[in-house]
Amino acid sequence: MGNCVSLQIQAPCEEVLNHLGSCFCSKIKYIQNLKRNLVALETAMEDLKAVRSDLLRKVHAAEEGGGLQRLHQIKVWLERVKTIESKFNGLYSTRDVELERLCFSGAGPKNLRLSYLYGKRVLKMLNTVEDLISKGFFDEVASPAARAVGEERPLTPTVVGQETVLEKAWNHLMDDETKIMGLYGMGGVGKTTLLTQINNKLVDLCDTHDGVEIVIWVVVSGDIQIHKIQHRIGNKIGYKGVEWKKKKENQKALEIFNFLSKKRFVLLLDDIWRKVDLTEIGIPNPTSQNGCKIVFTTRSLGVCTSMGVHEPMEVQCLTTTDAWDLFKKKVGQNTLERHPDIPKIARKVAGACRGLPLALNVIGETMSCKKTTQEWYHAVDVLKTYAADFSDVKEKILPILKYSYDNLEGDNVKSCFLYCSLFPEDALIDKERIIDFWICEGFIDGYESKERAVNQGYEILGTLVCASLLQEGGKYDNKSYVRMHDVVREMALWIASDLEKHKGSYIVRAGVGLNEVPKVQNWQLVTRMSLVNNKIKEIHESHKCPKLTTLLLQNNRCLVSISGEFFRSMPRLVVLDLSWNVNLKVLPEQISELVSLRYLDLSESNIVSLPVGLQKLKRLMHLNLESMLCLEGFSGISNLSSLKTLKLLNFIMWPTMSLLEELERLEHLEVLTVEITSSSVLKQLLCSHRLVRCLQKLSIKYIEEESVRVLTLPSIQDLREVFIGGCGIREIMIERNTMLISPCLPHLSKVLIAGCNGLKDLTWLLFAPNLTHLSVWNSSQLEEIISLENAATVDTVPFRKLEYLHLWDLPELKLRKLPLDSQSCIAGEELVIEYGDEEWKEKVEWGDEATRLRFLPSCKLVLYDV
């Protein structure tokens, strides 16, 4: 090797290479052909870029013109081209140096080795580029966009006996000749459960080639309102926002039609009571050609016929064997084995339920804590007394359900349960709102302590949920809800309205489309009336209602007037709800004659002025004036000497110094929600120990920097929600009391900050250990959520219970690392992290691998229209 290198040192480069050929044999070709290969590589790269350009033109045309999505193999090929292009640029950047090295007159072993390696890389890359060119011609470049998958719905873990009917229903639905399928049967028989299973199978089918593109679930119930059904469908297919809500029904119908006409959809309508005009909603007619389907549940065979279903499918009660299996699961093996006679008696109890799944669930759970034979024999006696035959819901099923009601301990709990039937079918019932009603009705003693009364209310709700008389309704917008199954509600109304003891005491016509107050046989017997969600325009009658204690009139959006005479003969009325009556502008002076009134809700109404007589309501405990955007005057609040709850959020008459002085004179005030727009009023509020103690929701808006540079919040034990918007505040601090062991903001769960361009960080949130919802947007100077420097003195794990995090339009935010660790959000199983920058997810840093694995699935890309 050394001899070869020493020969003809001064010879031209071609002669050196020829001489060295005997030493390097086959490897010399990498050096000999280097120039030629470089030229070929340059040409091949130009060809590859041309092929890519032509391919991208086809892809863009398919994506933009045809609404298609590029094939995965196209994505892979383009990514490989991008990679090889980057490598080529690096290789080509040393071209001149390598060619000069090749022809250098004093070539040595080191230079020859480098030339050999470079030549080898050139040839290898040339082969790769030529291979990419050959594979860059595709017959198809795009396919229909990814299917829009529906939502899988939760199922009770104890579904029993529906395997056969599910298979039958599924096979019928999959038949090409089936366009509309109706499932009918009595209340509580399992129609919704069956429809849920169909929904989930359809969602699974969405992942296959033959699957539907979108599955839409809509609960109809009661009075059919086209705009509500359109709203729910619109939400499912992406039509949201203010502009969508403003559109007329016919406009919405056209947009829904245009969208669904291009999709293979299945529409699931749960609980319809009369014919639904699909055309009026905007639903295209399902055909064998478009493959679309409609499935609905109803209690009426006549509805199936009116909807054009020629082969309706009845959902029947469970067989004796299946009913016993379900009942055993609900009662539990532990109870059944407490005594050898209990299983035999339990079969009689299960038999009395007549195979109705709802009855089996409710009674089974009620009996799960009965450990003696005496209790079981008593159950058999009661059920036999009321359920001799199973032919009529009112006469046979409701007495069975009533047993769970009879088993409730205490008349107050029973009264609370019956009160829930005042709300419309399938309504979400705000837990704190219903508890306020119960307190004002006197079911719960609320005179001594609001907190104690609320806790008792939650205990009663828990009792009713455990007895399967109520169901958990979830949590939305920082509020918790329950709901009442419609069959259970029927039972409650039956008890409250038809039984001899209560005959005629409850008048409930919620959501049935009334245009006027209904006729009542005997007004003097009425104790509670619910006319919620109707179309009543005027109320001018005068009736003597000596026993009426609750009147619910909310959400009658056509209501324009209430005569003063209407309120004259209601001396015992304690609850009056007039909220969401958006066309109601005047409240009569005669409201002053409601001398017993404790609860008054006027929120979301357009009442222009409050009557002077309102000040005479000396027993009023709860007053809600939120979102009254037309109110022109408000004074004399201090005359409401019994007031405990006052809600003034989004209140057009923003609080003044004089109003705060009035509020301070309300010695029984316990709950205050308020919106502040003045720095002086804010200062006075936060300096008032009495009012600070009552604050539950605080909104601070439009306060300039010059007024408040540093916002110092005192310890506010009951504060639940804070909104700060359009303010020039530069810093938020917490006034720390060294005597306090508990957190400064122990109940703060929701914080929204918008348009605060002076804020640099939100380190003060460390003093809110129970925060579940954080939204921050449009704040141009925010750099950090938690400042590590400022947080050094606070020994706490941030955001341990966070469930929702929304950060948007924060250009200075240095959020490469989220303020989370693996111990954060211990109670937030459904944490949502929304982000709007597509690259953020790739750049974000996690504290450790455990944190990344825990929270990465919670990240959700949300693209906003600018």
**pLDDT digit string, tens, across residues 201-249:** 888 877 555 567 889 999 997 677 888 899 888 888 877 777 778 889 9
Question: Are residues 548 and 522 in contact, defined by beta-carbon separation less than 8 angstroms?
Answer: no
The region of weakest confidence among 62-71, 524-533, 709-718, 801-810 is: 62-71
Evaluate if residue 181 carries a pLDDT over 70.
Answer: yes
Return the H-helix or E-strand segment holding 471. Answer: strand 471-476
pLDDT value at position 813?
84
pLDDT tens column, 328-349: 999 999 999 999 999 999 999 8
Q: Which of 128-142, 495-509, 718-732 has the lowest mean pLDDT?
A: 495-509
The predicted model gives 639-658 an average pLDDT of 87
Is-contact 550 422, C-beta < 8 A?
A: yes
pLDDT of 864 over the 80 cut? no
Beta partners for residue 430, in sequence order: 481
In this prediction, residue 784 carries a pLDDT of: 87
- Angle, alpha carbons 613-540-556 (nearest 5°): 90
Contact 548, 570 (CB under 8 A): yes
Q: Which residues contact 41 (CB under 8 A, 6 or more apart)?
A: 88, 92, 122, 125, 126, 129
pLDDT the model gives residue 395 = 56
In the predicted model, what is the mean pLDDT of the chain? 84
Confidence of residue 617 (pLDDT cuts 50, 70, 90): very high
pLDDT in tens, 505-541: 899 999 888 999 999 989 999 999 999 999 999 998 8
Q: Is the pLDDT of residue 567 over 60?
A: yes
Find the mean pLDDT for residues 656-667: 91
Q: Which of 838, 747, 761 is nearest to 792 (CA)?
A: 761
State the pLDDT confidence band at 866, using cuts at 50, 70 and 90: very low
78, amino acid identity: L
How far apart are alpha carbons 433 and 437 in whole angstroms? 6
CA angle 765, 766, 768 (to 5 degrees): 65
pLDDT in tens, 788-838: 776 666 667 778 888 888 888 888 887 666 767 777 766 545 677 777 667
Please determine, for residue 561, whether its predicted confidence score (pLDDT) is greater than 90: yes
Buried b (16+ CB within 10 A) or exposed e, 379-404: bbebbeebbeebeebeebbbbbbbbb
pLDDT of residue 108: 58
- Please state the rounded mean pLDDT for residues 422-430: 91
Classify burial at 680, counting beta carbons within 10 Å of its beta carbon; exposed 0-12, middle 13-18, buried 19 or more. Answer: middle
The rounded distance, in Å, linking the Cα atoms of 483 and 519 is 28
| Strand-by-strand arrangement of the 293-298 sheet | 214-219, 265-272, 293-298, 180-184, 313-314
Q: What is the mean pLDDT of residues 75-92?
A: 89
Q: Enumerate long-range contacts of 712-717, CB under 8 Å, 24 or more apart.
A: 712/686, 713/686, 713/744, 713/745, 713/764, 714/686, 714/744, 715/740, 715/744, 715/745, 716/692, 716/744, 716/745, 716/748, 717/693, 717/742, 717/746, 717/747
Q: Provide mean pLDDT across the span 846-865.
A: 76
Q: How high is the pLDDT of residue 548?
A: 96
- Contact criterion met (CB below 8 Å) for 491 and 402: yes
Q: Does residue 434 register a pLDDT over 90?
A: yes
- β-strand partners of 480: 475
May I ask the CATH class of domain 162-314?
Answer: alpha beta
Rounded CA gap, 593 and 616, in Å?
8
Nearest to 468 by CA among 453, 493, 485, 480: 485
Task: State residue 279's pLDDT score.
Answer: 93
Q: What integer is the mean pLDDT of 388-407?
A: 59
- Tell the CATH topology of 408-499: Arc Repressor Mutant, subunit A (1.10.10)
Note the pLDDT tens digit of each residue in 586-608. 999 999 999 999 999 999 999 99
Lowest mean pLDDT among 397-411, 442-456, 574-588, 826-840: 826-840
Residue 482's φ and ψ, nearest 5 degrees, are -125, 165
C-alpha to C-alpha distance for 216 and 519, rounded to whole angstroms: 39
What is the chain's percent helix, strand, coil content, to nearest 5? 40, 15, 45
For the ranges 453-457, 751-755, 781-785, 824-828, the lowest mean pLDDT is seen at 824-828
pLDDT for position 383: 64
DSSP 8-state symbol, 612: G
CB atoms within 10 A of CB 277: 12
* Domain residue limits, the chain: 22-140, 162-314, 408-499, 716-865
pLDDT confidence tier of residue 120, bands split at 50, 70 and 90 = confident
Beta-carbon count within 10 A of 741 CB: 6
pLDDT of residue 414: 95
Which of 489 and 593 is assigned the larger pLDDT?
593
What is the spatial distance between Cα 47 and Cα 53, in angstroms, rounded to a whole number?
Answer: 10
